[in-house]
Amino acid sequence: MSEAQLDQLLAVLKALADASRLRIVGILADRECSGGELAELLGLRAATVSHHLTRLRELGLVSARAEGTRRLYRLDADALRAVQAALDPPHRLVELIPEARPDAYARKVLSSFLDGDRLLRIPASRRKRDVVLGWLAEHFEPGEEVPESEVNERLARHHWDTATLRRELVGGGWMTRGAGVYRRAQRDVP
């Protein structure tokens, strides 16, 4: 979800968080009404209802049409369905918060330990090290057979301690080793 979409969704949810606006939407979901009818039904002043209708129209939730000398307001059900779709299923709400996305931790770790493609240091924490090892493993194609000298060459592009990185990649299950040949193992990045 883009920032603009997030801002729009937040504006709609804030507007609907007002009891009077929510009641107006509820009435308009059932039928068209004039501002005067809404004021009477809700026990509010006409100016107050007009203010709420203006806000709902700005957000695209309500539309108006002229009928003689009065305006009739109606709910735009498609706009309300779009809000519902943005919130359904509930697990999509994680998209609203970049810090809660599944890959947010990995992005944060990599930004802390990488300078471009250079690994600044090997993380001491196992969880962080797994993120870095997963990133390094992605530099090898699944099923590709790579001799140790080429593994060293590729790893040296990112960090000087190729022996530790090789050992960690194999020990952590990111790569397999046999007869001096390394292969990337099938493992998901945490």
pLDDT in tens, 26-62: 999 999 999 999 999 999 999 999 999 999 999 999 9
- Report whether 57 contacts 64 (CB < 8 A): yes
Q: How far apart are the first and last CA of the chain?
A: 23
Percent residues over pLDDT 70 in the chain = 89
Nearest residue to 64 (alpha-carbon basis) of 103, 92, 38: 38
- 115 bridge partner residues: 118
What average pLDDT score do residues 144-149 get? 93
Name the more confident of 104 and 109: 109
CATH (residue range 3-96): 1.10.10.10
Tokens for 167, please give them: 């050992």
Q: Which residues of 37-51 are buried (b: 16+ CB within 10 A; e: fewer)?
A: bbbeebebeeeebbe
Residue type, 29: A
Q: Give start-end residues of each CATH 1.10.10.10 domain in the chain.
A: 3-96
Say whether 61 sits in a helix, a strand or coil: coil
Residue 190 in this model has a pLDDT that exceeds 60 = no
DSSP state of 72: E
